[in-house]
Amino acid sequence: MRSKVVIFLFLFICCQSDFGKLSYVAKLPKKLKEVSGVQYDAKENAFWMLNDSGNKPSVYLVSKEGKIQKELKVQAKNIDWEDLTQDKKRNLYIGDFGNNQNKRKDLTILKINLKDLSSKDKVITEKIEFLYPEQTKFPPKKENRYFDTEAFFEWEGNFYIFTKSRVKSSYGRTFLYQVPNKAGTYKAKLLSQFETTGNSWNCSITGADISRDGKKVALITHQAVWVFYNFTGNDFFSGEVKEYPFDYISQKESVTFISDSLLSIADEENKNSGRNLYQFLID
């Protein structure tokens, strides 16, 4: 028996080294096998999480140890939920704007009010709807499919949305848009654009967050996190940027700031890997 325990511990330690520069924290529950959005709630000292399309319209409060503490059933269809964010009042927002084929005309952000986060029943949401003025065809030609979206955050009364490219020649390109945080239907305002290095599917932007002091923005891909700082106003691409490679590729679609120098990251389950919660230090 003792020899079996030693072998198990050896294999466990070896598995941890497979995560490159990421620090393994926990295996997430099976209910979160397609986790696509994570938001740290400082007051709860826990994470709000959700799955993407094809899953239940629920958001989950998850402990730092990866255990589900609460499930909120949302009275809205999960068309393609891709990210989560909170404002300073701790209202929660769901980005229902996944758009793989670039043909959706119902891009939506769903708001869950703070008072409803403690509910044990189904919760009702408010809607913020938007469109990209630069998109005129649904879908556009393959060389113009820049309107998929998996990343956003709320800051100072506005949402900042980062598109995901479906164009083979520039998978790393992302466009930064602004949408007001107010119920209604809006034309998203194009602010800027950025392109990650490399040209593979692993370079596409899949998640975003802003530090609590508003001085750092993190964008995640399957293989790295890009951190922007010393920017001017809300043009987050106007300052300096640093790439932090993970040295480990998996389907990472979720990133959130724990502190100004510590990120939490989650990836989706893929065969025998993923569905993990990690931590990652930045400067």
Q: Kindly report, residue by residue over 215-255, the tens digit of the pLDDT.
A: 999 999 999 999 999 999 999 999 999 999 999 999 999 99
pLDDT at 271: 85
pLDDT at 13: 42
Maximum alpha-carbon separation in the chain: 66
* Domain residue spans of the chain: 26-281
Low-confidence residues of the chain, pLDDT below 70? 1-17
Whether the link from the prior residue into 29 is cis, omega within 30° of 0, is no
Q: Which CATH class is domain 26-281?
A: mainly beta
pLDDT at 17: 52
Q: Which residues pair with 190 in a beta bridge?
A: 177
43, burial (CB in 10 Å: exposed 0-12, middle 13-18, buried 19+): exposed
Q: How far is CA 278 from CA 22, 24, 65, 248, 256, in A?
A: 6, 5, 10, 12, 11
Which pair of tokens denotes residue 84? Answer: 């989560």
pLDDT at 241: 98
Which pair of tokens denotes residue 146? Answer: 């820049």
Which pair of tokens denotes residue 162? Answer: 């980062």
How many Cα atoms within 13 Å fall on the side-chain side of residue 132? 28
